[in-house]
Amino acid sequence: MLRYVLTFLAAALAGDLSAQEFETLKGHGGPIMGIAVSPDGEVASASFDNSVGLWAGGTPVWLEGHEAAVTAIAFGPNGELVTGGDDFAVRLWGRAPRLLGQHQGKVAGVAVSPNGDLVASGSWDGTIRLWPLDGSAAQTLPPPGAGVNDVAFDPGGEHLYASTSAGLVLRYDLAGGTPAPLARHGFGVNCLIVGEGWVAYGAVDGGTRVIDAESGAQIADFTLDRRPVLAMAYNAQTGRIAVGDGHGYIMVLDTAEWRIVQDFRATRQGPVWALAFSPDGSVLHAGGLEDVVYSWPVGLLDSFDPEMGNDRTFLRNADSMPNGERQFVRKCSICHALSPGPSRKAGPTLHGLFGRAAGTVPDYSYSDTLTGSDIVWTAETVDRLFDQGPDHYIPGSKMPMQVIAGAGDREDLIKYLETATKGD
């Protein structure tokens, strides 16, 4: 199996904000099904190729042991790494790697308790098991009534939440007793995140909801018309949730005001199966069909990101922005700066875009397609780019496929860009 590292910038992982870069972790021989980040910023990836990649110090370490695709992965507070796979196994890695145990079906979710004592695993066999890391006997929780898709501890470690293929979100009191159904979604719930007092979940039908962690009362509904939701990640420091879906989009939510901060097409092809934030929340790692982990600097809530231009647009509520600006902030700003000068984002700065020949920002490493293109960017060509999508308009481009279906949205975006790309 060909495994190599193409680009790896350890600085971003070490949390050096000044050196944040868009990075790509290459080497897996199959799609990425799960990503977890340790408290130290070490990235671990779970893959269809049966292996787990540990991306520290520039060279991936391959953890082998699973006999089928690895789909579930979690770090504990002291760097305990736990995985679950299609081989029904739950494995613990580290100095003394071992098999914690087996389910009778695929393991779809694993979690480590906040104090690092306990591993929870949920399986399509309809069981949830608790594995004490001191080696004492495993415990099986009362059955959730259907295949388990995900499990998560609450921050206090007193409750375990589970989501099932029958659409239930259940709350287990770890002191004992029968589980309480918190939500009956009606469609399978693929993933969940538990914060202080809330549970966020994503479902097969695209349902993306936040409910009260005790009563199940709805706090917010971010359901868009895409489906299904496949991955979620949370960073407590920035208070942000990332949601990945089957159409390759990532939506970033702010939990302080419960609003959408970003919503962008993240993969060139296929779904977003895996998401994880760096410990300080400044980098978002994503994986899917493409065998690589993409890592974006997402900017911190409480710090000024000069890449965003000279205002603090990214701190404002996109809902209250004029439509053109909102289109840019949500769909483009993750990858494109508007200010002149070199940008550390994944795409070239759009400063001075109109009238400029494609592929000509100095120091930006374009695809050959764009470098060799004879397109000049005008209102008309930018409109065509997002009417047809980059994959049709400039096939071979590095820009992820993204169509903006509404002619009005494209018009508003272009009007906004005509002004915003002129400033200095």
Task: Give the interface with ligand HEC as residue ranges (CB under 6 A).
Answer: 264-266, 331-332, 334-336, 346-348, 353, 358-359, 361, 366-367, 369-370, 377, 382, 386, 397-400
For the bound state, the minimum distance from the C-beta of residue 63 to ligand HEC, rounded and expressed in Å, comes to 29
For the bound state, the minimum distance from the C-beta of residue 85 to ligand HEC, rounded and expressed in Å, comes to 29
For the bound state, the minimum distance from the C-beta of residue 404 to ligand HEC, rounded and expressed in Å, comes to 6
Closer residue to ligand HEC in complex, CB, 300/403: 403
Closer residue to ligand HEC in complex, CB, 12/346: 346
For the bound state, the minimum distance from the C-beta of residue 290 to ligand HEC, rounded and expressed in Å, comes to 13
Closer residue to ligand HEC in complex, CB, 337/399: 399
38 half-sphere exposure, CB direction, 13 A CA radius: 19
Closer residue to ligand HEC in complex, CB, 16/368: 368
183 sits in which H/E element: strand 180-184
Closer residue to ligand HEC in complex, CB, 282/397: 397
Closer residue to ligand HEC in complex, CB, 208/397: 397
Please tell me the distance from the alpha carbon of residue 39 to that of residue 179, in angstroms, as a whole number: 30
For the bound state, the minimum distance from the C-beta of residue 263 to ligand HEC, rounded and expressed in Å, comes to 10
Report yes or no: 351 and 363 within 8 Å, Cβ to Cβ: no
For the bound state, the minimum distance from the C-beta of residue 265 to ligand HEC, rounded and expressed in Å, comes to 6
Q: Is the dihedral of CA 272, 275, 280, 281 positive or negative?
A: positive
Going along 217-326, which residue ranges are E strands?
218-221, 229-235, 240-245, 249-254, 259-265, 272-277, 283-288, 292-297
| Coil, helix or strand at residue 323 | helix
Please tell me the distance from the alpha carbon of residue 287 to that of residue 272, in angstroms, as a whole number: 6
Residue 249's nearest CA partner among 236, 231, 276, 222 is 231
